[in-house]
Every structure is written in C-alpha cells, then in structure tokens.
Amino acid sequence: MPEPAFPPTPPVPLASLLAREDLGLRQIAGPSDPGLVIHGAHTSEMADPYPYLLGGELLLTAGVHIPEAAGSGTYFEDYVSRIVAAGGAALGFGLAPVHDTVPRALVAACEAYGLPLLEVPPQTTFSGIARAVWQLMAQARMAELRRVTEAQQALATAAARPDAVPSVLRQLAQRVGGRAVLYGPEGAEIAGAGRMPGADGALAELTRALVVRGSASASDTVAGVYLAAYALGAGPGFVLAVAAPRRDPADHAVASVAAVLLSLLTGEQQSGSGAARSSALVRLLLGAAPGEVAGLLGAGPWRVVHARPDGSAVPDAVAASGLGAALGSALVDVAEGVVRVLVPGGAEVGPQTGWTLGVSAAVEPSAWPAADAQAARALARARATRAPLVRHGARASLADLLPPDEAAAHARSLLGPLLDSPALRETLRTWLSLHGSWDRTAVALAVHRNTVRQRVARCAALLDADLDDPDVRMELWFALRRAE
C-alpha cells in the first residue's frame, strides 16, 4: 500500500544491536533469526511486565523481581510466557549487582518459548542500550528520508518532461530496482519501464483482480517478487503496477508519489470528476446543503476515514494524496496531523501499510458530521490498541430498546456534573472503552498518563461514583453513548 512521503521510524534489527561492540551483548537462548526486529527498549523489574508492554520491545531487567526459590517452581515459565503474550521481541538480563549469572531456569524458559535472551555485561547500562537503539533508528530513518526525498525530486522532474508518463515510470522502476507498468481502462499495457523477469504476467493478473474487485490497491508476492497495484484517481481507469525484489517501506513511499503524479498526468483522460468536485465546492460555499451537492461527487452512501502515519511522521499534501489514491478517492483533507478522506460507502477500505486508520459507518450526506466524529474516535482507539484499522461499530444494542428521548434524558441527568467539561467526558469515555487502561487512554488522547488519572479521579468525585464497580461503568458507558 502507499506510504506517507516521510516513512515512519524503522525498527532495529536485533542483529545490529548485537553487533555493537561497545555494548558487549551476547545472545544465550532463543532463535537466532536475522530478520528479528525490535521497536524500542523498555526497562522493568515487575514480576509481570505484561501490562507495561505494547509489543516489539527489548525488555531489560536485572532480575530484582526474582524470588530466591524461583528456580524450583514455574516462576520463570510464567514470567517468559507473559512477555511472549504481550508481544515482547526479546529479553535482556543484566549481570550484577543482583545476579552474577543468568539463571539456568530462565535460559530454559526462553528456549522453550522461543524468546531471544541476551546477556548484558556489568559494564553496559540499560540506558546505554536504549540510547543505542534510538541511534540505530535515527540512522535508518535518515537513510530512508534521504532516499525518499531524492526519489521525490527525480519523479517531479520526470513529470515535467514532454514524455512525462514514460519518464515517471522509468524513474520509479529505477528507484525500486524493479519494473513499473501503467495499464489503461481496458487492462492494456500503456507504458512500462524496468526489468523483472517473469513479472509481467503476474502484474497483469494482479491488475485484473484489482479492477474486478473494485479495490483501490492490491498486493501479492510471487516467487520472491513483491507485487503491488494502485488504482489511479477517484474512478475506474488507469492502474499503476510495480514489481520489486523486496518489500521496503521506502519503496512504498516512492510508489505513492509516483501514483499521485500519474493520477494527475492521466486525469485528463478520466471522467469529469474534477469539474464535478469544483462545482460541488462552489455550491457549498454559496450555501447549498451537503445533500444537494453529494450527487456531483458520486452515488452514496459515504464513509469518512481518519488516518495518521505510523511513528512520528507528519503527513503532507503529497502523502495525503497518495493515501487518497490508495483508498480510491480524491476528496482528501489534511489538518493537525490527521488526513481525512471521504470515500464511497461501497468501496472497500482496508489497512494501508504505514498508516493507522479509523473508519466511520456508511452514512448519507446529512450525517457526514456524525461520521467524522465516528472516524476520529475509531482512529483514537486504533492508535491506543496499535491496530492498523478500527471500524465504527453500528450494530443494534440493548440501548435501542429504550425510547431515545428517555435515554437521552437519563444520560443528561447521570452526566450532569460533566456536561460543562468536554475534556472530562471524552477522557472518561475513552478510558471506559479501553477497559480502564491508563497507558492506552493516554496514547489515544495524546496526554500524559498522570493527566488521565487526574481526570478520571475528578470524574469519580463529581459523579460520586465507584468507577471500579462494573455496574457503574456499564451505566456510565450507556449514558456517554447516549450523550453523543
């Protein structure tokens, strides 16, 4: 799938960390997989680190939490199994001052559960390991950014040439080290560049499947060759297909730029969708209601998609346009680090590599503002739970059995002390939706976890309610849903 113009910070191969002579790390158990990567380093001396891991971390411990009789029971098996269940990538055990050697039972447990175990020598500090991880991430990020920036400049220069389409395809094929092909509305090859033996047939088949399904993008791997196809523009027509020897985030970023440029270059040959969008915008500015102009944009209903790039990248217009092309829509907006895309309700919205998505229910134009709020909340939940995509749930519930006016009156009465504080209501709603997780609520709201604790405690005080009581939580959740 297309990536943002600025790729997210890449993970660090564990092998690169082991290769640092200044750290002196040594793997003593678990699989030696050269493809194993870590997404950060976390230090914890908790006997159960599960609640504090998000997945992909190198967990560092000095064994302070280990009881003296741990070797004769199931302590280490329980400890390692919890790390694996939380998605931990590896475990680093520091020697001295608590333990002179790594406990044999811990080595056996890591071997049994397939968790890489690293021995950390006494002279290596945990903060030094964390700093090394971030240094390796920064180096990899800078290399990817440099590569993507150079590719963007080359593609933009190619798009300005008289033979723009062939030039863009040549640059794309060169940058990904493979082959790039532009297919027309009837599936015929219009232009191609680069070489990838045996890839043309697979690319044509993938393109046909993309058109038949009506999807915005598709990917596959055949005989070790990574294939990707992207529908260009907001309607059926041209398709960009790429074959590359590797699946690299930077390659996706480069392909997304090429897809945007080719969408512009082939736009004149597509339908009058651009003129229709311009007409719809003018009518909205002159006071028309959304329902009156929606027909110019296509048949309803519609979905709203909110998206953020993974990592700390900030989306720009090029990255947003690339995402819109992948979702099959040119109705894209970028504001405050969030990309919003309005897509036809019948279109398939799937996960997009490098992006975290929140998707609303399919609604008519009159309900677009509500769908925008649904997508925003779905995105917040996706980011908090590290899910690539979360859809707004719209199935019927027990709450639908109550008259709406009575349910709303009950919600206002119960939440009365919070009605003047949107921040408290949203914090309580998010905290309840994430099962009382302080860390994930903090991520979803982009605030510190102490702020979450203070706000929830304030809600409990104002409501005079025991938020540890599941019945209270259920009633509050019902009220908050009705208050929306």
* Residue 298 belongs to a domain: yes
Check residue 292 and give its pLDDT.
78
* Residue 167 belongs to a domain: yes
CA distance 255 to 240: 9
Same domain, 308 and 370: yes
Check residue 285 and give its pLDDT.
76
Q: Give the pLDDT band of residue 50 (cuts 50, 70, 90).
A: very high
Query: Between these two residues, 43 and 283, which has the higher pLDDT value?
Result: 43
Same domain, 111 and 92: yes
Kindly report, residue by residue over 82-113, the tens digit of the pLDDT: 999 999 999 999 998 899 999 999 999 999 99
Q: Is pLDDT at 3 greater than 60 in this prediction?
A: no
* Residue 130 belongs to a domain: no
Q: Are strands 26-29 and 117-120 parallel, antiparallel or unpaired?
A: antiparallel
Q: Is pLDDT at 397 greater than 70 in this prediction?
A: no
Same domain, 173 and 61: no
**What is the extent of the structural domain holding 193?**
146-269
Same domain, 152 and 247: yes
Q: Give the pLDDT band of residue 273 (cuts 50, 70, 90).
A: low
Mean pLDDT of 41-63: 94
Same domain, 380 and 415: no
* Residue 4 belongs to a domain: no
Q: Give the pLDDT band of residue 6 (cuts 50, 70, 90).
A: very low
Q: Which of 361, 391, 421 is where one domain is finished?
A: 391
* Residue 13 belongs to a domain: no
Same domain, 109 and 51: yes
Same domain, 306 and 324: yes
The CATH number given to whatever domain includes residue 182 is: 3.30.450.30
* Residue 308 belongs to a domain: yes
Same domain, 310 and 367: yes
For the chain, what percent of residues have pLDDT higher than 70? 90
Q: Which of 375, 391, 407 is where one domain is finished?
A: 391
CA distance 63 to 69: 13
Same domain, 68 and 93: yes
CA distance 420 to 23: 54
Kindly report, residue by residue over 145-194, the tens digit of the pLDDT: 888 889 889 998 888 776 788 889 999 999 999 999 988 776 778 888 99
* Residue 341 belongs to a domain: yes
Q: Specify the residue for token string 């609640």.
A: 51
Q: Is pLDDT at 314 greater than 80 in this prediction?
A: no
Same domain, 329 and 406: no
Q: Which long-range contacts (CB under 8 A, 24 or more apart) does 190-195 make?
A: 190/165, 190/238, 191/165, 191/166, 193/166, 193/169, 194/169, 194/170
Q: Which of 88, 123, 158 is where one domain is finished?
A: 123
How far is CA 325 from each of CA 85, 235, 256, 353, 366, rounded to the nearest angstrom? 37, 10, 8, 14, 25
Check residue 109 and give its pLDDT.
96
Same domain, 260 and 183: yes
Query: Between these two residues, 420 and 50, which has the higher pLDDT value?
Result: 50
The CATH number given to whatever domain includes residue 454 is: 1.10.10.2840
* Residue 278 belongs to a domain: no
The CATH number given to whatever domain includes residue 88 is: 3.40.1390
Same domain, 261 and 154: yes
pTM: 0.44
Check residue 5 and give its pLDDT.
35
Q: Give the pLDDT band of residue 45 (cuts 50, 70, 90).
A: very high
Structural domains counted in the chain: 4
CA distance 484 to 465: 21
Q: Is pLDDT at 268 greater than 70 in this prediction?
A: no
Kindly report, residue by residue over 181-238, the tens digit of the pLDDT: 988 776 778 888 998 888 888 898 888 888 877 777 888 888 888 999 888 864 457 8
